[in-house]
Structure 1
Amino acid sequence: MFGTVESAQLPALMAATSPEAVGGALDGPRGFRHLGGPPTQQPLYSRLRDTTAAQRIRAISEDLTGVGFPQN
């Protein structure tokens, strides 16, 4: 909602390239209500910790894109 297209990309760029990035973590803006600002690691929202929902989203994503995620 705030910032620019360029600043909106920063959390994803940080998650993909930072040596301090942690798998399973959430990177997002650290500004007011997490709507803008420099990227930082944030606690996962409770909905993101729901394994049943995660499996459902994964299956839908694979179906819609035709691309399978690697199995763990």
Structure 2
Amino acid sequence: MLYDHIDTIESLGLDFFFAALFLLIGLAIKDVLKQGNVPVFGRRIVWLVLFLGCFGFVVKGLIQISWEGTGLG
């Protein structure tokens, strides 16, 4: 039974891995910004770039799901 669902388990594991990786990157950036006394404008730019990276990853996943659902992928 486990062998039948290995693709789903692998996909979920990879998604959770990337979510944890983004979380750890965010915590590291927060610590660096705090210790470096970065101005507010610089902090906002850094968080914007991090958010856009995460958003792009999520959009890529949604596009991939929609393409696979229609038979394009």
TM-score normalised to structure 1 length: 0.28
TM-score normalised to structure 2 length: 0.28
Select the structure that is richer in strand. 1
Instruction: Please say which structure displays the higher CA radius of gyration.
Output: 2
